[in-house]
Amino acid sequence: MIDLTSPDYYINRELSLLAFNERVLAQAEDPDTPPLERLRFLCIVSSNLDEFFEIRMAGLKEHIKLNGALTAPDGMLPKQTYRLVAKQAHRLVDRQYRLFNETLLDALAAQDIRFLRRTDWTPAQQEWVRAYFFREVIPVLTPIGLDPAHPFPRVLNKSLNFAVSLEGNDAFGRKSGTAIVQAPRALPRVIRVPDEIAGCEYGFVFLSSVLHAHVGELFAGMRVLGCYQFRVTRNSDLFVDEEEVKNLRLALQGELPHRHFGDAVRLEVADNCPAGLAAFLLGQFGLEPDDLYQVNGPVNLVRLMQVPEWVDRPALKFPLFVPRQPAAVAKQRSMFQAIARRDVLVHHPFESFQPVIDFIQEAADDPHVVAIKQTVYRTGPESTLMEALIAAAERGKDVTVVVELLARFDEEANINWAARLEQAGAHVVYGVVGYKTHAKMALVVRREGERLRRYVHLGTGNYHPRTTKLYTDFGLFTCNEALCADAHDVFSQLTGLGQAGRLAFLWQSPFTLHRRLMEAIQREIEHAQAGRPARIIAKMNSLLEPQIIRSLYRASQTGVPIDLIVRGACALRPGIPGVSDNIRVRSVVGRFLEHTRIFHFANGGEDDVYLSSADWMDRNFFRRIELCFPVIDPRLKRRVINEGLKPYLRDNTQAWAMTASGGYERCAPGRRKAFCAQDHLLNRLAMALPKPQR
Amino acid (one-letter) located at 183: A
> Furthest-apart CA pair in the chain: how many Å?
90
Amino acid (one-letter) located at 354: Q
Which one of the listed residues 212, 214, 438, 464 is annotated catalytic?
Answer: 438
**Beta-carbon contacts of residue 373 (< 8 Å; ≥ 6 apart):** 399, 400, 401, 402, 442, 443, 444, 491
By the 10 Å C-beta count (0-12 exposed, 13-18 middle, 19+ buried), 466 is classed as: middle
Query: How far is it, in rounded angstroms, from Cα 454 to Cα 507?
Result: 19
Q: What is the DSSP string of 104-156?
A: IHHHHHTTTEEE--GGG--HHHHHHHHHHIIIIIGGG---EE-BTTBPPPP--
Query: How far is it, in rounded angstroms, from Cα 198 to Cα 203?
Result: 5
CA distances from 663 to 309, 573, 595, 620 (A): 34, 10, 22, 25
Does 438 participate in catalysis according to the annotation? yes
* DSSP category for residue 324: B
What angle is formed at CA 365 by the lines to CA 362 and CA 371, rounded to 5 degrees? 85
Asked whether 569 and 20 are in contact (CB, 8 A), the reply is yes
By the 10 Å C-beta count (0-12 exposed, 13-18 middle, 19+ buried), 631 is classed as: buried
Asked whether 234 and 257 are in contact (CB, 8 A), the reply is no
Asked whether 392 and 364 are in contact (CB, 8 A), the reply is yes
Asked whether 347 and 685 are in contact (CB, 8 A), the reply is yes
Query: How far is it, in rounded angstroms, from Cα 279 to Cα 478?
Result: 61
Which among 548, 530, 505, 512 is positioned nearest to 602, based on CA atoms? 530
Please count the other Cβ atoms lying within 10 Å of the Cβ belonging to residue 530. Answer: 9
Query: How far is it, in rounded angstroms, from Cα 504 to Cα 363?
Result: 26
Asked whether 507 and 628 are in contact (CB, 8 A), the reply is yes
Catalytic residue annotation: 438
